[in-house]
Each structure stands twice: as C-alpha cells, then as structure tokens.
Amino acid sequence: MRFGLCTLLQLTPLRGTQSRSGSGGKNFGPDQNFILAKRGFCCSLTDFYQAMFTGTYTAIVTPFANGQLDEAALERLIKFQIKGGVDGIVPVGTTGESPTVNYEEHIKIIALSVKFAAHKVKVLAGTGGNSTTEAIYLTQEAEKAGADGSLQVAPYYNKPTQEGLYQHFKAIAKATTLPIVLYSIPGRCGVEIAVDTVKRLAHDCKNIVGIKEAGGTCDRVSQLRAVLGSKFEIMSGDDSLTLPFMSVGANGVISVASNVIPKEVSQMVNYFARGDAKKAYQLHARFYPLFKDLFIETNPTPVKAALAMMKMINEEYRLPLVPMNPKNWDVLRTTLKRCDVLD
C-alpha cells in the first residue's frame, strides 16, 4: 500500500527485500526500504516510487523563440529534468502557458515531450479545460501521442457546481484509458473540487487515480487521505508546502521550482519519503526563499525569467503575460545567487 510518509511515524527496516528499480531509475537496497508501523499501513520505499504518479513531477515551462515554440530549448529542458532525477514532467499546464497555445501547438508540445522524455521519465500531460468537449479532445490526442497520464484542472471562469464538476471529469474519464490526475486550484479557477466530489469520482471512475492539491492547507490533504485511503495519489501543488503536505499523506509534488533545481527538489522529496526528515528539511530551508520568489509575480513569469538567467531559454512570453517588473527581477536574481543557482 502507498502512503505519504510522516515524520511522526516510526520507520523500521523491511527485511528480506531485494534491490529493485523504481520510476526514474532510482535503485533502492534492503537498507532503504521501510514499513509504516502505525495505522496498519505497510509501505516500502520501492512501492512509493512504483506508484503511478508519485515523487517529483516538474510543471515544465513552454519555451518560445520569436513567437514560436522553441523545440531545441524544450529538449534541453527535458534532458535537464532527466539528469536531475525527477520522476516525471507535466507539459502544457498553467506553467506551460496552456491558455495561450492553440490546439495544434498544445498537441505538438505533448508529442515532443513524450519524444524527448524517451521513457526515462513519465509524461503527465496537461489536457484540462473549461469546456468538456475541448478537454476530451486534448486528452484523446495526448493518449495518441503516448502520454502516460492526463492532468485535469477544474473548469475555470464558468464555475460549475459540484455536480457539474463530477459530470465533467466523469465524461473525460470515460473518453480515455489514460490515468487521470485531478487538479484543484481554487485561487485560479474560482471553484474547489470538493472532497466528496473527489471521493465520488475515485469510486466511479477507475482511471481517476490522483489529485494535484493546491488549496493551501494540510487540513484538506488530511481530509482527502481520510476518505480516499492509501492508494489514491495526492500531490502537492505548492513547492513551499511539499513537506507539510507529505507529512499528512501526500505522495510528492508537481513542482514549479524543479524547473530550476530538479535535483534538489527530487532529493528533498526522496529524503522525506524514506524517513530522513532532517535532510529533507535542510533542503526545504535552503530553497524556501526561492520557492516563494518564484511566485513574486504571476507564474510562470518568474520561473521563465530564472531559466533565462541560467541561459536555458529565451525570456519570452505570450500576452497577456509580460516580463517581470525590474525590481522584482532583481529580487529574483539575488535569491538565485543566494541559493547558489547562479554564480
């Protein structure tokens, strides 16, 4: 069984296990497998990474050059993620500027992401929308392109009722064989996917396997875990809340910061997953200023600025997004230097 690891749990070695390779090429020996001794949950670290979508997933940016998709830069970014040890990438989510790419570009970005990932990391494609028909179309195209799963954001602007949300996600789930991760982010969508709605969907739609939770509270993660059990995957949607969320049952993070520091975010999640809360906290404390300043302006503007400072992409956006305020740009650059991301 899978369960987010809490610092309060007593961890003991799981004897008799053999070294196996989990997702992302991580190898764990007998001394790195544990069981959850409380609440009757039994979970090895290998099982944690063999879960469908757990660990560190990068909500990857979409690089542009002269107004067009920069394919060479996208390949460079994905190779950087693979080298950094992430478990997967999420193309064309909010961080990937999905609202400003057309259908053809959207599908092309997913297809290229699958190609460049080359089965070394999973591809959880952002294919949500506030039109059910649109979301179904994009999800089916992502399936054809070879994506490993679909991230489905709550419909934004039209603010459906909970029954409307249920019917929306159920229709998408019926239209694909891809595993689906829901995405609740009321700050952007104006509506939250209620715990009871998530429970209904998980029960009625076998390919709805998880949720990206960006509601900002550990209480909600606790509520989700309580009603959904250990097998439903919960991913933090906020870098600064990854460890608090994991302490009450989350399985990892869909991260913005890992665009810039994939190795460090992966290490932080890995340390906590195997019960080394001290090392995980040290990384959290070191990079917390960066976690915050990557949201000093609307995402993905700061993270694209940071990647441009690292000379990995052009600092280019599509309207209505614009370059950062110069003062905020300076604050971000200073933070990147203090965190040893820039020289």
Report the catalytic residues: 183, 212
- Burial (CB count <10 Å: 0-12, 13-18, 19+), residue 144: exposed
Report the distance separating Cα 257 and Cα 238, nearest Å.
Answer: 9
Evaluate whether 233 touches 181 at the Cβ level (below 8 Å): yes
The CA-CA-CA angle for residues 127, 2, 95, to 5°, reads 25
Element (H, E) at 28: strand 27-28
> What one-character-per-residue DSSP string does 218-269 give?
HHHHHHHHHHH-SSSEEEES-GGGHHHHHHTT--EEEESGGGT-HHHHHHHH
Evaluate whether 167 touches 139 at the Cβ level (below 8 Å): no
